[in-house]
Structures are given as structure tokens and as C-alpha cells.
């Protein structure tokens, strides 16, 4: 699996620390764990504990990809997706949902609001999440 990851052109960009990600996740422990993995892989990660904070960070500097939780204090993940759709600046940022919801209706709702993929936290390991992010970045940018 590692070989497959490294063979993606995106791997070189990640190695040069030039791929920026934003993660919106209210659980601090989960946030720390996934950031540790992503940073270890060479991504530049900015974190936000709420949707509002996430939108603000992205407005300052647009990332190449957003990892977004759904159940959040204040704005929900869906609200964030809607806000992004309305903004010229944020519209084109690909979003991967990272949530423990994940029934059909939730996945469909997120995708109809523009989410690229929907990963259920309890079903994916950090390594698998990284692989998926690299695949999506590769499709979009390479």
C-alpha cells in the first residue's frame, strides 16, 4: 500500500511540504491524532475546533483540501458546506467528510452539498485516510 501511495505524483508535492490541509474537528484527541499522522506524511495542517473557525482560516488562505466533521458546536458540517458553496473563494476547495455519522441519507446530503468523499472515523485508520486524501488530491491537481 505504501508503494502505491508513493507512486502517486502528489507524494512529491507532499514531501516538499507544499500541500496545505485544514481539518475541522471538535474532539481534541481525534484532531491531535490525525494531525500527527498527516504532519508525519508531510502535509501542512491547520486545525479548527468549530465550523466558524474553519471558514475563517480558509478565508485567510485557501487550502488544497478540507477535512470536515459534521456534528460540531455551532455551525454543522452541512452548514459549512453550504457556506462554502456560496463563496466564490471557497467553492473550489475539495471537501472530505470525516464523521461518525454515515448512513445513506447523511452521505447523500453531504455529497449533494459538494463533498468529494465521506469517511467514517470508526471504519478508517489514519493511514487509510491519508491514502484516500492522496488519491483525491492526485485526481484533482495532478
Using CB under 8 A as the binding criterion, the count of chain residues that bind another protein stands at 21
Among residues 126, 132, 135, 138, the one that binds another protein under rule CB under 8 A: 126
> Which element (helix H / strand E) includes 65?
strand 65-68
40-56 in b/e burial notation, b at 16+ Cβ within 10 A? ebebebbbbbbbbbbbe
Binding to another protein (CB under 8 A): which residues in 52-71?
A: 71
The answer to whether the Cα torsion of 92, 142, 126, 37 is positive or negative is negative
User: If binding is defined by CB under 8 A, does position 107 make contact with another protein?
Assistant: yes
Q: Nearest 5°: phi and psi at 118?
A: -135, 110
User: If binding is defined by CB under 8 A, does position 73 make contact with another protein?
Assistant: no
The answer to whether the Cα torsion of 1, 70, 116, 142 is positive or negative is negative
In sequence order, the 6+-apart residues with CB closer than 8 A to the CB of 82 are: 113
User: If binding is defined by CB under 8 A, does position 3 make contact with another protein?
Assistant: no
- Compute the least distance from the CB of residue 24 to another protein, in Å: 15
- Compute the least distance from the CB of residue 122 to another protein, in Å: 4
CA distance 85 to 52: 15
Among residues 6, 12, 40, 91, the one that binds another protein under rule CB under 8 A: 40
Among residues 5, 27, 44, 62, the one that binds another protein under rule CB under 8 A: 27
Q: Which residues bind another protein (CB under 8 A)?
A: 27, 29-30, 33-34, 36-37, 40, 71, 100-101, 103-105, 107, 121-123, 125-127
Amino acid at each position: 500500500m505504501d508503494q502505491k501511495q508513493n507512486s502517486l505524483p502528489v507524494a512529491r508535492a507532499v514531501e516538499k511540504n507544499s500541500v496545505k490541509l485544514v481539518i475541522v474537528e471538535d474532539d481534541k484527541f481525534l484532531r491531535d491524532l490525525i494531525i500527527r499522522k498527516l504532519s508525519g506524511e508531510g502535509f501542512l495542517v491547520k486545525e479548527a475546533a468549530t465550523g466558524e473557525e474553519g471558514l475563517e482560516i480558509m478565508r485567510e488562505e485557501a487550502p488544497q483540501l478540507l477535512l470536515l466533521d459534521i456534528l460540531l458546536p455551532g455551525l454543522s458540517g452541512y452548514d459549512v458546506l453550504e457556506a462554502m458553496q456560496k463563496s466564490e473563494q471557497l467553492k473550489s476547495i475539495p471537501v472530505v467528510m470525516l464523521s461518525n455519522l454515515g448512513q445513506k441519507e447523511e452521505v447523500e446530503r453531504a455529497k449533494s452539498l459538494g463533498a468529494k468523499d465521506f469517511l467514517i472515523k470508526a471504519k478508517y485508520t489514519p493511514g487509510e485516510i491519508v491514502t484516500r486524501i492522496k488519491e483525491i488530491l492526485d485526481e484533482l491537481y495532478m
